[in-house]
A and B are shown apart, each in its own frame.
Chain A
Amino acid sequence: MSKKFSIVGKEVIRQDGYAKVTGSAKFADDIIFTDMLFGVMVRTHVVHALIKNIDFSAIENNPALTTIITAEDIPGAKKVGPIKKDQPVFCYDKVVTSGDVLAMLVGKDESELRKLVDNVKIEYNELPVVTDPENALNDNTPLIHPENKTNLINHYPLLKGDVKKGFAESDYVIERRYTTSYQEHAYIEPETVIAYPFEGNNGIKVIGSIQNPYTARRVVSEVMGIPLADVRIEQAELGGSFGGKDDTMNILAARAAVAALKTGQPIKIKFGREESIIESYKRHPYRLNYKVGFNSDGKIKAMKIDILADGGAYASMSPFATWRTVVQATGPYEIENVETNVNAVYTNNPYTGAMRGFGSPQPIFAQESLMDEIAAELNISPLKVRTINGFKAGSITASGQKLDEHEVSFNKVLEKAGAESCFNVKWNKYRKENNKIDGNFIIKEKQKSNNFILNENQFIDPENTWRRGIGLSVSFRGCSLGAEGIDAVTAYLSLQPDGSIHLSCGLAENGQGLRTTFSIIVSEVLGIPIEDVHYLNLDTGHNSDSGPTVASRSTLMGGGAVQNASSILKERLKKVFYKYWNINKDCNLIFNSGLITYGNGNKKITFKELCSLAYNDDSNMSTLGLYAGPKVDWDEESGQGNAYFTYVYGCQVAEVSVNISTGEVYVNKVIAVHDAGTVINLLGSEGQVYGGVTQGAGFCLWEELNSEEGKIKELNFDQYLIPTCKDIDEIKPFFVEGNEKYGPWGAKSLGEPTLELTSAAIANAIFNATGVRYRNLPINLEEIILLRKLRPDNLKRGSA
């Protein structure tokens, strides 16, 4: 790379690290007010019902109770939602899912309040429960939200070319069906929020584990019926989010706000793990049907895709998450004829919304599995089928976007990953070894029964139970929000007379390391030590609304805003320098190591002195930097348009061991090659890869959450299994750093690409190891051995 930096791209220690290793970092539950009251939820006992009556008479005189909050206490909007306003803050006419809340008990002693919950008598008129998304649009299926007249949340079509013609011209046509499960965010910090009224009840302050403070502010403002400026949201240290502390937290903020203004006291709501899993949204389970036509040389001619997303009881982010799906469903391949239909539907299941990846991990699992199925059909290498079809500079995407505005690094990431992993050699070796056992260990005739007694020829050699395999997957991903919404960020930068700096941004630190990344950018532009940059926590009263901290947009958009703010102040400081040294024209000044120098170095001044001079010269010491994304467009009818202004590319290779007697899959190694543009903090970028790959492996292998008759069975970490340190051996990140014109020095997105690729790479490796194609996530023990899921009993999912 020709880019030369003093700090960008190096391993930089987190600025908030000291507080986090000493236990002094303040998360929301660590904040206590002396006159604080607690809010405890009264939840529905049933999944789908009309509410006939709520009777509090058994508890209303209890001394533990200060007040009860219901929908009747809400001064403003009773229903909220990011796109469709379909989610009640407190249910008042009907309940539609098992996490629904009808009231909140408020009092001093949280544990005493919890004892009262069961004494609230709720009478229901129960309705049939809709659990199968495939039935959601049937005529006789009850409507979840009757006012919508349909259970359809959204339908996105996409049409390019003529698929009929494409299939007719294909040598081969195959059809495959894939399914994915819910994924719980499983942030280790459960949801917590505190609200307190300002003096004289003039507005409300909320502190909490809130991912998107501006969204929370809008929701609280709507629910309270007060101006945005009367609501101040402050982010506490956030204990993980991954897209998950959005809708749920906004509603909790609103509940706390209603109670705080009613009582005039601070209110804390603190979820335990079970409540967190019951009420919070999840990643959408998808059913994906792919039909693909291709020629014997490996060229794909046509693809027809039908995807059904279970949106659960509320629309939440379904319309946006599934829009990303329709844009990216064909993967990073140029295909002449495409027809895609993506539907998101309402059911009475737990609702689904944003989670790291956001509508991409599911189609990538399907689509990248399918690429290997094509390769297997033609008996060619997985690398070859991808090279033949992959995007190149100037390729046209399924939505008709010409890729000529950024470096299309498809081949770069594929080649790097192939070389680093010795892919072809290993893939051929394992395939040969494993052919011997293909069909020998899967108990084919026992698939559908619970008879686990083996025939003589089905015994497995106990010395030879582990099989090795390697697999890969590639993706392209649109950066930032795309045609989803308004895309602009501001950053505030303020020089102090002693040369120290205040920095803040309208985007939020969710644990990913944004404070440090942004501080590095200031440090690079102004040539000062990063220790001199003091990051101010996000408070909606101090920054301007910069949209949500989502879509891997922080480094690209927020970083751009910070870079612009730094450049503005740099220009002002230059003018002070010229005045000091009596220089009459603009010239090249070097800002480095806390020193500003001109020419051969005889005219110089320290950064600290320059700030002091600027201050004494009545300069404007503060500025806001703005970064706005270029315009994008989308036609909803045809599914055509320039969906995102730039894209990133990544390739992951997984090497696994499969125990064919127990069904265990151990991940030996994942090589993750990403072109995320310029790397700002190497330590943080590697951290994104390690964490993303691990979550992706969890999605693929272990994490299973079931809704049985609308109720979740896996309510804590004893049953919902997220990866531990013992499940994955080696993860090796590589950054290829392609050229990019947007973002700070061409830095773009990394957080989500790291997760979205892993499940397909592992599934392909399992195929290489076993000769069996598993199309239903998670590929857990029973899926490997029995080719089906054990729960729920009536579930039709599984490879059998």
Chain B
Amino acid sequence: MSHKIEFILNGKSVCINTNANRRLLDILREEFQLTGTKEGCSIGECGACTVLMNNKAVNSCLVLAGQVNGSEILTIEGVAKNGLHKLQENFLMAGAIQCGFCTPGVIMSSYALLLENSNPTEEEIKEAIAGNLCRCTGYKQIIKAIKDTIS
């Protein structure tokens, strides 16, 4: 059964009619062609589908349309405004990217961390991205990129 779902997506009000049990991940990728949000495991383990929901990092594969109604969603496509965000720049500079499939999710987790805590410790950085699996980088350059953003 179709429901009307209204929410703010990357700063713009949007409205769709969809099943209440449709995953936010599918809504973003299929309804809005926001394919920067990736699907890696479908069970909330890998973090590739991380987006911000009301300023908190969530796995969009575990969020259903009904929960999205009335919320504010930010995806990787909404992070760069008038040029790259500092985090994105530092990911480039530090070499925090290899294949790039996990990258949007890691950036979203880092973004959420910095919204909540502008000066996190290394342990807090690790805690924030512990739910994002990366098979290429060994995480070192990712942690450096986040540290460089706060200093």
Beta-carbon contact of A187 and B142 below 8 Å = no
Q: Which of B35, B37, B77, B140 sits near A690, CB closer than 8 Å? A: B140
Beta-carbon contact of B135 and A273 below 8 Å = no
**Residue of B with least CB distance to A189:** B101
Inside 8 A of A13's CB, which chain B residues have their CB?
92-93, 95
Beta-carbon contact of A513 and B130 below 8 Å = no
- Whether A26 is near chain B, meaning CB under 8 Å from some CB there, is yes
Beta-carbon contact of B137 and A690 below 8 Å = yes
Beta-carbon contact of B99 and A22 below 8 Å = no
Q: What's the least CB distance linking A701 to chain B, in Å?
A: 14
Q: What's the least CB distance linking A530 to chain B, in Å?
A: 14
- Whether A741 is near chain B, meaning CB under 8 Å from some CB there, is no
Q: What's the least CB distance linking A405 to chain B, in Å?
A: 32
B residues 67-122 near A (Cβ < 8 Å) are 75-77, 79-80, 84, 88, 91-93, 95, 97-104, 107
- Whether A222 is near chain B, meaning CB under 8 Å from some CB there, is no
- Whether B134 is near chain A, meaning CB under 8 Å from some CB there, is yes
A residues 749-799 near B (Cβ < 8 Å) are none
- Whether A85 is near chain B, meaning CB under 8 Å from some CB there, is no
Beta-carbon contact of B45 and A717 below 8 Å = yes
**Known contacts being A23-B76, A687-B141, A690-B139, is A718 close to B99, with CB within 8 Å?**
no
**Distance in angstroms between the alpha carbons of A630 and B92 in the assembled complex:** 37
Inside 8 A of B40's CB, which chain A residues have their CB?
188-190, 273
Q: Which of B38, B88, B126, B136 sits near A691, CB closer than 8 Å? A: B136
Interface size on A, residues (CB 8 A): 57
B residues 17-76 near A (Cβ < 8 Å) are 29, 33-43, 45-46, 48, 75-76
Beta-carbon contact of B101 and A239 below 8 Å = yes
A residues 697-745 near B (Cβ < 8 Å) are 716-718, 722-726, 728, 731
- Whether A456 is near chain B, meaning CB under 8 Å from some CB there, is no
**Distance in angstroms between the alpha carbons of A19 and B130 in the assembled complex:** 24
A20-59 to B contact mask, C-beta < 8 Å, 1/0: 1111111101101000000000000000000000000000
Inside 8 A of B48's CB, which chain A residues have their CB?
188
Q: Which of A19, A239, A731 sits near B138, CB closer than 8 Å? A: A731
**Residue of A with least CB distance to B41:** A273
**Residue of A with least CB distance to B26:** A111
Inside 8 A of A24's CB, which chain B residues have their CB?
36, 77
- Whether B16 is near chain A, meaning CB under 8 Å from some CB there, is no
Interface size on B, residues (CB 8 A): 52
Inside 8 A of A29's CB, which chain B residues have their CB?
35, 38-39
Beta-carbon contact of B76 and A14 below 8 Å = no
Q: What's the least CB distance linking A165 to chain B, in Å?
A: 46
Beta-carbon contact of B139 and A694 below 8 Å = yes
Beta-carbon contact of B35 and A684 below 8 Å = no
Beta-carbon contact of A513 and B98 below 8 Å = yes
**Known contacts being A11-B95, A17-B92, is A239 close to B100, with CB within 8 Å?**
yes
Beta-carbon contact of A690 and B100 below 8 Å = no
**Known contacts being A687-B136, A687-B141, is A21 close to B41, with CB within 8 Å?**
no
- Whether A693 is near chain B, meaning CB under 8 Å from some CB there, is yes
- Whether B5 is near chain A, meaning CB under 8 Å from some CB there, is no
Beta-carbon contact of A23 and B139 below 8 Å = no
B residues 123-151 near A (Cβ < 8 Å) are 126-127, 129-143
Beta-carbon contact of A725 and B142 below 8 Å = yes
Beta-carbon contact of A511 and B95 below 8 Å = no
- Whether A510 is near chain B, meaning CB under 8 Å from some CB there, is yes
- Whether A695 is near chain B, meaning CB under 8 Å from some CB there, is yes
Inside 8 A of A716's CB, which chain B residues have their CB?
41, 43, 45
Inside 8 A of B76's CB, which chain A residues have their CB?
22-23
Beta-carbon contact of A240 and B135 below 8 Å = yes
Q: What's the least CB distance linking B69 to chain A, in Å?
A: 22
Inside 8 A of B93's CB, which chain A residues have their CB?
13
**Distance in angstroms between the alpha carbons of A686 and B142 in the assembled complex:** 13
**Distance in angstroms between the alpha carbons of A188 and B50 in the assembled complex:** 13
Beta-carbon contact of B38 and A27 below 8 Å = yes
Measuring CB to CB, which residues of chain B are less than 8 angstroms from any residue of chain A? 29, 33-43, 45-46, 48, 75-77, 79-80, 84, 88, 91-93, 95, 97-104, 107, 126-127, 129-143
5 closest A-B pairs by beta carbon, nearest first, are A23-B36, A511-B99, A20-B100, A239-B101, A690-B138
Could you list 17 A-B pairs, sorted by A, with CB under 8 Å?
Answer: A19-B100, A21-B91, A21-B92, A190-B39, A240-B98, A273-B43, A511-B100, A513-B98, A686-B95, A687-B95, A690-B141, A692-B138, A693-B138, A717-B41, A722-B135, A724-B130, A725-B143
- 5 extra interchain contacts, Cβ-Cβ under 8 A, other than A17-B91, A29-B39, A30-B29? A21-B107, A23-B75, A690-B139, A690-B141, A725-B143
